[in-house]
Amino acid sequence: MNTTLYATFDGEVLRPDLPVRLPPNTRVRVVIETADEEESNAVSFLDTAEGLNLEGPTDWSSRLEDCLYGEADRAD
């Protein structure tokens, strides 16, 4: 059985934040990964999109339909 849980180290023991459903004296393997490290690895969508170095017209937002579907024949 694999379960992820959060716990706090009080200087002596790890104390689970929520009750753990295990019988007393059950041996488990513990892998320590601080929650701060896990959260700091998150990358926002905007950071990812910016890193793609996409090329295109500077007025995408005002000409979205043209950019998606091609230049429309206009009688402007």
Between CA 29 and CA 34, with CA 31 as vertex, the angle to 5 degrees is 150
Question: Could you give the CA distance from residue 38 to residue 40 in angstroms, rounded to a whole number?
Answer: 6
Average pLDDT over residues 9-32: 91
Is residue 76 within 8 Å of 66, Cβ to Cβ?
Answer: no
1 in Cβ contact with 9 (< 8 Å): no
pLDDT digits (tens, 9 = 90+) for 32-73: 888 775 555 667 787 777 778 777 777 777 877 877 787 755
The CA distances from residue 21 to 5, 27, 34, in Å, are 11, 13, 22
pLDDT of residue 58: 76
pLDDT tens for 28-40 read 998 888 877 555 5
Residue 25 has pLDDT above 80, yes or no: yes
Asked if residues 3 and 9 have their Cβ atoms less than 8 Å apart, the reply is no
pTM value? 0.41
